[in-house]
Amino acid sequence: MKGLWTPAWMGRHLLALVLTAGCFVLGWWQFSRAADGNSISWGYMFQWPVFGGFVVFIWWREVQLARRRAAGEPVTEPEQPAPSAPAPPDAPVALGRPVRVAVRSAAGATPDPELDAYNDYLAWLAANPGARPADYARRTVR
Amino acid sequence: MQGALTRYRIIAWIVGMVLLALTLGMVLKYGPTKDATLVETVGFFHGFLYMVYLIATFDLSRRVPWPFKRMVLVMLAGTVPFLSFWAERHVTRHWVPEPAPALSE
């Protein structure tokens, strides 16, 4: 691919190579110091390769980003699409993100006299703003 | 993004302070006293803390997002005594956008 061999990218590849090699050389130097009896160098010996690995990681990520841009793909990962079909009823229950589902309207399902009475009371309250609750009770008695 | 910025600022301050201690240790070690205790104590921790600093900077840089050069620059700024504090302030003031005002009721 040509996009990764431009002068700017050659510079980046070279920088990554030099930094990684430098980190590993420094790690090797610490190893030789540790072998000479400098006990603190044992710790440094393990840290330098980690920094070298970090350079490789950044380099790899930049290359991937450039390739995606060149291919016209989205730079960030696309959102996981929602499962198209609902799971069959006998599918094992799995944990997942809470999903918004359509709720069936409860109106007209089953007659509920208690609810009807309450709705009637609310309607009466709305129709008579200044009324006291006791007046409603008197009205029903009448 | 503000969370990433806070993490970056905290670790930048810690690494800056430890780096100062390390510099002082270097002065003591190669200076008059030839005393390497401070370097030996601090040096190892500084390595690990700097790793955390790199990760926090990387995280912040991909959230803003920064150009590649700026990310490398900020990462390297963490290795220079005293400059690291200035870099942290500069990043906070100029290179990270202001948080969006919270939605009110």
Q: What is the pLDDT of residues A107-120, one digit of tens each?
A: 666 778 888 889 98
Write the DSSP symbol of residue B1. -
Q: Give the separation between CA A45 and CA A35, rounded to whole angstroms.
A: 11
Q: Give the separation between CA A43 and CA B50, rounded to whole angstroms.
A: 14
Q: Is B44 on the interface with A (CB under 8 A)?
A: yes
Encoded amino acid at B56, one letter = A
Pairwise pLDDT comparison (A24 vs A87), residue with the higher score: A24
Residue B1 pLDDT class (50, 70, 90 cuts)? confident
Q: What is the rounded radius of gyration, in angstroms, for the C-alpha atoms of chain B?
A: 16
B93, with CB counted inside 10 A (0-12, 13-18, 19+), is exposed
Model pLDDT for residues A89-99, shown as the tens digit of each residue: 777 777 777 77
Q: Is A9 on the interface with B (CB under 8 A)?
A: no
- The answer to whether A43 contacts B58, with C-beta atoms less than 8 Å apart, is no
- pLDDT at position B32: 74
The domains of chain A are located at 8-71
- pLDDT at position A86: 62
Model pLDDT for residues A40-61, shown as the tens digit of each residue: 788 888 889 999 999 999 999 9
By the 8 A CB rule, do B53 and B79 touch?
no
**pLDDT > 70: what percent of chain A?**
80
Q: Give the separation between CA A14 and CA A34, rounded to whole angstroms.
A: 30
- The answer to whether A47 contacts B48, with C-beta atoms less than 8 Å apart, is yes
Q: Is A58 on the interface with B (CB under 8 A)?
A: yes
Residue A84 pLDDT class (50, 70, 90 cuts)? low
- The answer to whether B51 contacts A50, with C-beta atoms less than 8 Å apart, is yes
Distance of CA B22 to the CA centre of its chain: 14
Total residues found in chain A within this entry: 142
Q: What is the rounded radius of gyration, in angstroms, for the C-alpha atoms of chain A?
A: 36
Q: Which residues of A touch B52 (CB under 8 A)?
A: none
Can you tell me the mean pLDDT for B26-44? Answer: 80
Structure tokens of A40?
A: 């603190």
